[in-house]
A and B are shown apart, each in its own frame.
Chain A
Amino acid sequence: MDFALNDIQQMLQDSAAKFIQSDYGFEKRQHFVGSELGFNPKNWSLFADLGWLALPFSESYGGLEGSIIDLMVLQTELGKGLITEPYFANVILAGNVIQRHGSEEQKMDLLGSLIAGELKLALAAQETASLSELTNISTKAEKQRSSYQLNGFKPVVLGAVSANKIIVLARTSGEFGNSEGLSLLLVNPDQQGVSLNKYVTNDGNQAADITFKDVCIPFSEVVGIADTAFEAVRKVYNDAIVAISAEAVGVMEKLLSATVEYCKVRKQFDQPIGNFQVLQHRMADMFMECEQAKSMLYYAAIAVDSDDNADKAVSLLKIKIGAAGTAVGQSAVQLHGGMGVSDELDVGHYFKRISMINVLFGSYDDHLNQLVKQYQT
């Protein structure tokens, strides 16, 4: 039994914390949120230099062989900085699915460029508002003589705006709703028949809705073996839940510390408002939620890492993150009073992010409902 960070994790944590503290102020972030790209391209090169883009990938493709636990450590620190660089979309979703399902050649090529910071990817999988039926894919790729013809629609694709290639989950055979018959296809966003509706998300990130109309995909652009992609996507989603929950823990810790600091200096009735017991207890509750969320994160990260009951573990985790994130986020805004709802202060922006995390990869309700149903069949 051991919960201590190892030397590599400690280094990762320190370098990420240093980056957030010295290079990633809130004002700089806000400047890039309004820009076309949505983030600072210099940071992306820095991520490559620091080895963060290489973290979870196998050594054979230039990676660092990091585990989900290493990713968890990094994501928590990045969460504290509220970064908008599409690290999650590229490394944890797209790169991950290539590593899990791509051919040797694709891995060598795509992961090599991703790690070098030269290529950006995005994964377009989910089509429903909630995650409960990830197999409900209407996007279709019909097999022609020498290519697939892709038709369909993918809403809210994270990282799509800056991606050079989009990895699309589409049905290539079998019935709607089946887990078999799904394939991943590499699509160039500039390709004929592909149109992106780009926008800034409510939490300052960027995403796009993508429409595919008779898009021609050569067989060479099928990721790995056709019709068998679902298992890899499912595993990527489990990793994604751990990683985004790690980010959530970072966001929550920041919300708690900011709130405690604010209540120590904000004076009303001739004293710091942190003297009032009703506020103290609310902050004690926030603290407990943060710690319980962190414990749950460790549990699920270890479960996913050792592939031990991972599906249930990530559902339990997402439920806890949903409950804790909502409670901590809302309390932080409430305790900041009017400042909590002002655009000028960072706290409201952390609240926005934690609220969006709750609806990504299955909400509290989705996961709870899924677990309940398992007892009712």
Chain B
Amino acid sequence: MVNKMNIDFTEVEKKFELEVRAFFQNELPSEVKLAIESGMRLTKQQRVLYQQALFRKGWAGVNWPVEHGGTGWSAAQKYIFYNESANANAPRVIPFGLFMVAPVIYTFGNKEQQQRFLPDILSSKVWWCQGYSEPNAGSDLAAIKTKAVKQDNNYIVNGVKTWTTLAHLADWIFCLVRTDDSGKKQQGISFMLIDMKSPGVSVKPIITLDGLREVNEVFFEDVVVPKENLIGEEGKGWTYAKVLLTHERTNIAGVALSKQRLTQLYQMLNQPSSGLTDLTQNSVFMAKVLLTEVELKALEYTELRVLSAVSTGKAPGPESSILKIKGTEIQQKLDELYLEMAGIYALPYVPEQYDDEGIEPTGPFFAANTAPHYYNNRKVTIFGGTNEIQKNIIAKQVLGL
């Protein structure tokens, strides 16, 4: 039999799919399920509850190698896992520990650092946040000024990080810091882990367009960081950070989640809640929905092409570079469609209803969150390297311009 281009799962993969489905059906903590179903915002404690259920099942380290307690899953298995997770409306795993700092630690950290940090990340016991951006280092990330100066067995860190997601809930922060400013700006950057409880660390909220606190400024004032907290070599932080970014494009694309949101959108269109207009009769709206479906279907196959290449041992091809741009564009398009579907019921701003099940929203259940979500999600084309920066990367690295 000649092998043929296909998207079929093997028998083993089909069995795995059922196992994952059963997990989300039976082991998603009921408290978390209830909160999601009633449109509540999840607390940190609820998120930990969920991530620890994954940990007990051995599924917390989706991308991790087996030797560090990871799943060792194939590309197809990861694809199945994310699809089932999205279909079950399970929350997204908070990425900073499990998806972002962990790969750097198990790839570039020493044995001692791996033993010290990885187990607590895997069990979601310790929460992390990411200290990259600074007030004057956004797209030009290599322009960071937060300084780490060596003093005996420590570094003394001074500076400001900004747009730090969930810093107010984090125990540790992984930072890019400047250890040398004599050469090229990329060369003097180091990758450092800092305990948020260290004297001199302070966190100040930034309120975003949805009226909520998600991001923060983090200040470092003569913070003493033991030199054991430096990952790899001094001055190599930029390289480590870049490796991390290229491996995370799939995660940011959020294809499985967008698929689920589109399916739900179609369901709601076919059975409009009372008070809503039947938008299926609005050809202009339907055309926008279908064009979003076209882009999403194409992106799903772009992602499958990447996964299939990776699973046969090849490096991701140039098509991987478009995942972030297209994935985030589609997420925002979906936000617009939901907002439009909610109509006037998008207007009432009653933030209490996210935390209190007793408050009934005006209009259909989904409508209350459409505007805040639309506002909040403008971030996705900005973070993780703006989409304009991603196009620079394509121009330089893929097209050779």
Interface of A toward B, CB cutoff 8 Å: 1-8, 67, 69, 260, 263-264, 274-275, 277, 280-281, 283-285, 287-288, 291-296, 298-299, 301-302, 305-306, 316, 319-320, 323, 368-369, 371-372, 375-376
In Å, the complex CA distance between A298 and B319 comes to 14
Q: Which residues of B contact A302 (CB under 8 A)?
A: 5-7
**Assuming the A-B contacts A1-B307, A4-B308, A287-B398, are A296 and B301 also in contact, with contact meaning beta carbons closer than 8 angstroms in the complex?**
yes
Partner pick for A281 among B291, B299, B395, CB 8 A cutoff = B395
Q: Which residues of A contact B300 (CB under 8 A)?
A: 295, 299
Interface SS of chain A: helix, strand, loop or mixed? helix
A260 lies within 8 A of B322 (CB): no
Interface residues in B293-328 by Cβ distance below 8 A to A read: 293-295, 297-302, 304-305, 307-309, 311-312, 318-319, 322, 325-326
A281 lies within 8 A of B388 (CB): yes
List 18 additional A-B contacts (Cβ < 8 Å) besides A4-B312, A281-B395, A284-B391. Answer: A1-B76, A3-B305, A5-B5, A275-B401, A277-B395, A281-B391, A281-B392, A284-B394, A287-B322, A288-B394, A291-B318, A291-B322, A292-B299, A292-B326, A298-B5, A299-B298, A323-B291, A376-B281
**Assuming the A-B contacts A264-B401, A291-B302, are A69 and B5 also in contact, with contact meaning beta carbons closer than 8 angstroms in the complex?**
yes
| A–B pairs, 20, beta carbons within 8 Å | A1-B75, A1-B304, A2-B3, A3-B304, A6-B2, A69-B5, A264-B400, A264-B401, A277-B392, A284-B391, A287-B394, A288-B394, A292-B302, A295-B299, A296-B298, A296-B301, A299-B297, A306-B6, A372-B283, A376-B280
Minimal beta-carbon separation of B136 from chain A (angstroms):
21
Partner pick for A301 among B5, B281, B299, CB 8 A cutoff = B5
A6 lies within 8 A of B326 (CB): no
B295 lies within 8 A of A368 (CB): no
A368 lies within 8 A of B291 (CB): yes
Minimal beta-carbon separation of A357 from chain B (angstroms):
17
Whether B184 sits at the interface, judged by CB under 8 Å, is: no
Determine the interface band of chain B, counting residues with CB < 8 A from chain A. 35 or more
**Assuming the A-B contacts A263-B401, A274-B401, A316-B293, are A285 and B287 also in contact, with contact meaning beta carbons closer than 8 angstroms in the complex?**
no
Q: Which residues of B contact A306 (CB under 8 A)?
A: 6
**Assuming the A-B contacts A1-B304, A375-B286, are A283 and B399 also in contact, with contact meaning beta carbons closer than 8 angstroms in the complex?**
yes
Whether B11 sits at the interface, judged by CB under 8 Å, is: no
Minimal beta-carbon separation of B14 from chain A (angstroms):
12
**Assuming the A-B contacts A280-B401, A281-B391, A287-B322, are A319 and B291 also in contact, with contact meaning beta carbons closer than 8 angstroms in the complex?**
yes
In Å, the complex CA distance between A288 and B392 comes to 13
Partner pick for B4 among A2, A260, A263, CB 8 A cutoff = A2
Minimal beta-carbon separation of A254 from chain B (angstroms):
15
Minimal beta-carbon separation of B258 from chain A (angstroms):
14
